[in-house]
Amino acid sequence: MIGWLRWECLCFRIGWTQQHDGGQNVQNPVVEKLREFYEVHRQDLFTYALSLTGCRYAAEDAIQNAFCNLLRRGKAPEDLRPYVFRCVRNAAVDLLRSTQREAATDSIFEILNGQSAPIPLPVQHEIEHLMQQLSEEERETILLKVYSGMTFKEIATVRGVSINTAASWYRRGIQKLQDSIQEDP
């Protein structure tokens, strides 16, 4: 018993976690989990943060702040996706509040011109314009659903609303876009 306690104290002092393996210092599982999540979802997170802040640099700052807080906290829930997106959202709101400025209006879309563009240039501009016309809730819900592939339950968790509310935001936003595009083909 005393021997085990001394061994535990020694491991603790030199900074090993419980999963020490043959004397090798293994990676923190929470850090690894967050890193893997970031590798997979970095584009989705950036798009979401950019839609919230409207500024590339503020979006990057928000993501970095959110992940620094998560890493410092050292805990990660099982269902990581809505949790991290919500953290990024909170960080973006905090950033805008601390700098006391309104969200800028940078678009999330990279307008492509030429042969590589999958959609004609005027249509791209139109979609970009229409997305800016949507309300903040509708725009966010569409981004999370279309680009991040989230379920309405996850979107509801991110936004802190009911599932029905998230679904109605999405349907209303898509309907508005559809109607505007059909009006002006």
The distance of closest approach from Cβ of residue 60 to other proteins in the complex, given in angstroms and rounded to an integer, is 4
Q: How far is CA 123 from CA 21, 96, 134, in A?
A: 57, 31, 17
Contact (Cβ atoms closer than 8 angstroms) between residue 141 and residue 166: yes
Does 40 participate in binding other proteins (rule CB under 8 A)? no
Residues numbered 152 to 171 that lie near other proteins (CB under 8 A) are: none
Listed in sequence order, the residues at least 6 apart from 25 whose beta carbon sits closer than 8 Å to its beta carbon are 15, 16
- Nearest-approach distance from CB 94 to other proteins, in angstroms: 18
Contact present, 56 and 106 (Cβ < 8 Å): yes
Binding of other proteins by 67 (CB under 8 A): yes
Site membership for other proteins, residue 172 (CB under 8 A): no
Rounded Cα gap, residues 46 and 4, in angstroms: 47
Residues that bind other proteins (CB under 8 A): 8, 12, 15-18, 27-28, 31-32, 34-35, 38, 42-43, 46-47, 50, 56, 59-60, 63-64, 67-68, 71-72, 74, 106-112, 117-119, 123-124, 127-128, 142, 146-147, 174, 177-178, 181-182, 185
